[in-house]
Structures are given as C-alpha cells and as structure tokens.
Amino acid sequence: MPTKQKVLLTGAGGLLGSFVAREFAAGYDVTGLDLKGGNGPGAFIAADMTDFDAVDQAVKGMDVVVHVAALANIWAGTPDRIFSVNVSGTYNVLEAAERNGIRRVVICSSDSVHGFTVRNAHMQNPQYLPIDENHPLAPTDAYALSKQVGEAIAESYARRGKLEIVIVRPVFVLFENIYSEVAARCADPKNYKGGMAGGPNPAGGGPAWNYVDPRDLARAFRLAVELQDVTFERFLICGPNTVAPEPTLDRIREFLGYLPEVRNAAQYDREPFAPLYDLSHARDRLGYIPQHDLRPHFVK
C-alpha cells in the first residue's frame, strides 16, 4: 500500500481548517498547525504563525503545505495586526517550505483582493464581469491588502523555481454559525444591520452576496494539492449562485448605477443568479464544480 503524502495544514484549529482537515483525512497524513487546539483528525502542533522557527520545525518532513491560517476578515483584529500576522505568516510558510525542500504549497487568499467586497466608501468597481483571475487587483482594506501582498510573496518564491504554488481565492465562506445573519439580511435587506441576528460578524459576500460552502472550498484545496504541472496558478472559488434576491446583473447595475462590460453574458443567460466570478478556469484546470447550492436555504 503506497505511503500517504504528509500534509501540514496551517489554521487547522479554525472553522475552515476543520473542514479542510476532514477533506484530507482519508487520503493524506495530516498534521495541523495553529495557535489553538485542533478539532479535526490527525496530529496537531500548537504554534504561532509569526514564529519562524516554530513554522520551520513544523514543516520538516512534510510533502505539502496547505496554508489556511490567517486573521480571516476585517473584523478579526486591528488593521495593523491583521496585516502583520497575515503577511508574516505567509512569508514564514514559504520560506520554511523552500528551506525544507517542500515542492507544493497551497495558499488561501481571498476575492477581496479585487476591492469589491467590503467597506462601501472605498470599493473599487469591477472593470468587467464576470470577474476572473486576470482582473486587476485593487484592495482597499488591511485584510485585502494582506492577501494581495501574500500572493506577491508567493509568486516571488515561485520564480525562484523550487516551489510549486497554487493560490485559492475564495469568496465569503458561508459557515452555519453565520446562517442567522444571512437569513436576516435576506428577509429585510433594506433594514439589515450587521450582527443583528447574533452572528459572529455581518453577512458578507460583497454587493452580489456571493458565497461558498466550506465543504466545496475544502475540496478545492485538495484539488489544488493534486493539480499536475504547476508553477504558479490562481483560482477563484465560489458557490454556484448568489443568495441575493435580484439577478446578479440587475443587482450590480442598481448598486453601481451602470453595468460594467459583460464579457461572458452566457453565464448570466444560463443562470441569472450566477456569481459575480468566472469559475471556468477552476472548472477546466482544477476540476472544481461547486456541489452545495445554499440559495434555496435563504431565498424562498
């Protein structure tokens, strides 16, 4: 029986990390790395991602690193703390991976690098729809900026020729603990205020109310590990539709006061509530097709 690949999963103690750990459990030997205790299968190392020596030690003997650990949104800390932790954590993972001869590293980024997710006063309007991996980046908050810088660090390491790096850019991850907020927003969009339904943070997903089920996102990370012939690639990951009441193009036209260039009208002809993002690259190259449609749960 072939030996299972050893995967170091950073952020294994978090909500997303627990889904990723379960996705990898059957086919891989998973070790979690996090400040707090792991709640998934496999071994676990307690360490701070900003401590290079600890990260370097954890990476030793691994075959793959999946880097999920981060202060995961704009509500997770002060802007300086979010930027510092996320950037230094990504740098430490990549430097340790290269030093220890790891070949494949998968990095969790965010759709927020496009600048069209949060903080309405600073949002940068999309240049065209659907947004794809080649769309210009325009982050406007510390979290989004930390993710853009993390991608730049990763690409610089890929240029050196020792690491194969896959960037996964998920949209708002719709965990069950935020269902109440999403339901409250769907029930009364005009009067919804973040936190009014007892969730850990406001309902997200940007103006189009994009989402991804954590089970789909976890599978995307596994597909990224298994992807062949990689030097450096990025993939947008989201669900099959939005949880907004209006069709996506109508919603964006109303929100912006105009409609940006639509380069793939067929996407919205087939499914008026299709996401703001183009999943064709993830489908064709990664084999990612979202399996969990959460729209019927929230939009009646």
Q: Which residues are catalytic?
A: 143
Distance CA 4, CA 107 (A): 21
Distance CA 70, CA 73 (A): 9
Counting Cβ atoms within 10 Å, is residue 250 exposed (0-12), middle (13-18) or buried (19+)?
A: middle
Distance CA 185, CA 29 (A): 40
Long-range contacts of residues 145-148, Cβ cutoff 8 Å, at least 24 apart: 145/83, 146/70, 146/82, 146/83, 146/86, 146/87, 147/86, 147/109, 147/110, 147/112, 147/113, 148/113
Counting Cβ atoms within 10 Å, is residue 62 exposed (0-12), middle (13-18) or buried (19+)?
A: buried
